[in-house]
Amino acid sequence: MIITVQKPYDKLLELLAPYKKIFVMGCGDCATICQTGGEQEVREMANRLVESGKVLTGRGTAEVGCDQRLVRLAIRKYEDNFNAADVVLVMSCGSGVQTLTEVSKKMCIPGCDTMFCGTIERIGKFFERCRACGDCILYETGGICPIARCSKELLNGPCGGQDDGKCEVGLWQKDCAWVLIYNRLKEINRLDLLKKFRPPKDYSNLSKYKEQIREGLQ
């Protein structure tokens, strides 16, 4: 799940100031679950903008905001209202904003900030779990990712910044990933995995723009 938060409303008004006619587009997937860009949030945002004196041409939601096929469908559904707008406020992650830009060529304003790739404990409780490093090592860290969950992305054990399993980054509110890993590996009797030296990681996947063109999937 891509976890988003809405940009502050004042900031959105500032970003929308140069434009006259606004369409608000949401996403039926991650942003719906995060309650940052689902149907309800899109409706609330549209109403609020009208109250602020903005001109709305319409509002809608793509079933999945980052799937070009479903975004095209949504544009067709709201056709006249969508085309009448000179700006679209996109209530989704950055991928959704860019998908709509690519498909529609409209000026798109991000209504949300994309925070991380994570898990949902329950609504309102989101936790980062993956950095998309392109070389998954969860099989040797007890299913706990040190790249995503250790603020220093360490690969060989805890640093001096943990106390009683809490991390000094963020004022001792969050768990030290390496103490979690240690506890987990101990529990499953696999401390040998902690003792293994992990050499410098190949970070090239995180250092460049990526595409996946897979033959045979068309």
Partner 1 sequence: MNKISQLQEALAAKRFIFTGEIEPVKTTDLTEVLETARILKGHVVATNVTDNPTAFAYMNSLVPCYMIQEKVGLETIYQVTTRDRNRLALVADLLAASALGIKNVLALTGDHTTLGDNPKTRAVYDLDSTQLVYMIRQMIDKGVDLEGHPIHNPPKFFIGGAANLGADPIEPEVIKIEKKANLGVDFIQTQVTYDIEAVKNFFKLTSHLKVPIVIGICPLKSLAMAEWMEKNVPGVSVPPEMVERLAKAKETGGKEAMAEENLQIFGEFCREIRNTTPAAGIHVMAVGFEWIVPKIIERASLKAIG
Binding footprint of partner 1 on the chain (CB under 8 A): 151-165, 168-170, 178-179, 182, 191, 194-195, 197-200, 203
- Report the C-alpha gap between 106 and 88 in whole angstroms: 7
CB-nearer residue toward partner 1: 130 or 159: 159
Query: Cα 77 to chain center, whole Å?
Result: 26
Task: Tell me whether residue 16 or residue 193 sits nearer to partner 1 (CB atom).
Answer: 193
Position 187, amino acid: E
> Using an 8 Å Cβ cutoff, are 146 and 128 in contact?
no
- CB of residue 1 vs partner 1: minimum separation in angstroms? 24
> 50 or 188, CB closer to partner 1?
188
Other Cβ atoms less than 10 A from the Cβ of 101: the count is 15
User: How many residues make up the chain in this entry?
Assistant: 218
| Least distance in angstroms from the C-beta of 127 to partner 1 | 18
Residue among 137 and 169 whose Cβ is closer to partner 1: 169
103, 108, 213 from 210: Cα distances, Å: 20, 23, 10
> For residue 14, what are the CA distances in angstroms to 7, 8, 58, 107?
11, 10, 20, 15
Per the structure block, which two tokens stand in for 28? 């039926």
Min dist CB 186 to partner 1, Å, is: 8
- Cβ distance to partner 1 smaller for residue 9 or 203: 203
- What is the nearest approach in angstroms of partner 1 to the Cβ of residue 218? 37
Shortest spacing between CB 198 and partner 1, in angstroms: 8
Question: How crowded is the C-beta side of 98, counted as CA atoms within 13 Å?
Answer: 5
